[in-house]
Amino acid sequence: MLEENKYLKDRKGRLVPIQQIDEHDIEMDAFVRKQVSKAKELQAVLRQFKQNAFDDCYAFMGLLAEKYNRKIGGQKGNVTFSTFDGSMQIRIAVQDTLTFGPELQIAKQIIDECLNDWAKDANQNLKTLITDAFEVDKEGELNTGRILSLRRIKIQDKRWEQAMDAISESLRIAVSKTYINFKEKDHIGKYNNISLDIAGV
């Protein structure tokens, strides 16, 4: 049976005897493992803190609901807790990531039909704006904001209105994430996030 302290695994998964490894590589291996271990411990602490913070906030909301003889129901989120002097805040927010269903393809067909019929009369800038809305990015994804912005364009054509209805009906919530943020006012009264991201500390 191989003794673990006499071997190190290389990038291809092979066990290499310690005596065949450069001392610098051995020291770096130990250094990185120690730092990653500390990072994982801190990650676990932050994960538990986050869960406890959510639990405490929802428990406090529950107490408020009891005060007014109500029960908290439906989706949680989009609530702000403040200190009495307003110097500190905890904010829970729900952020939805939108995507489109098959109705969008129908909307695109109707819009293309409209553009063909308007070929002579339509403003070229407007046509470009509409066409660009359906361009995909480098990852092959549609720009949700550009497509939804088409609904603000008012055109007196039943087909256009039908296409805008199809766009609205195509909207789907792909992912819903809940965030918790902690803020504190600085000396000029501006709220600053208390960053728990190692890059922002």
SS (H, E, C) 92-114: EEEEEEEEECCHHHHHHHHHHHH
- DSSP labels for 129-152? HHHHTT-B-TTS-B-HHHHHHGGG
DSSP 156: -
| pLDDT, one tens digit for every residue, the chain (201 residues) | 445 578 999 999 999 999 999 999 999 999 999 999 999 999 999 999 999 999 999 899 888 888 888 776 655 668 999 999 999 999 999 888 888 999 999 999 999 998 888 876 767 777 888 888 888 877 788 888 899 999 998 888 899 999 999 999 999 988 888 999 999 999 999 999 999 988 776
In one-letter notation, the amino acid at residue 153 is I
Longest Cα–Cα distance of the chain, Å, equals 83
Burial of 130 (0-12, 13-18, 19+ CB in 10 A): buried
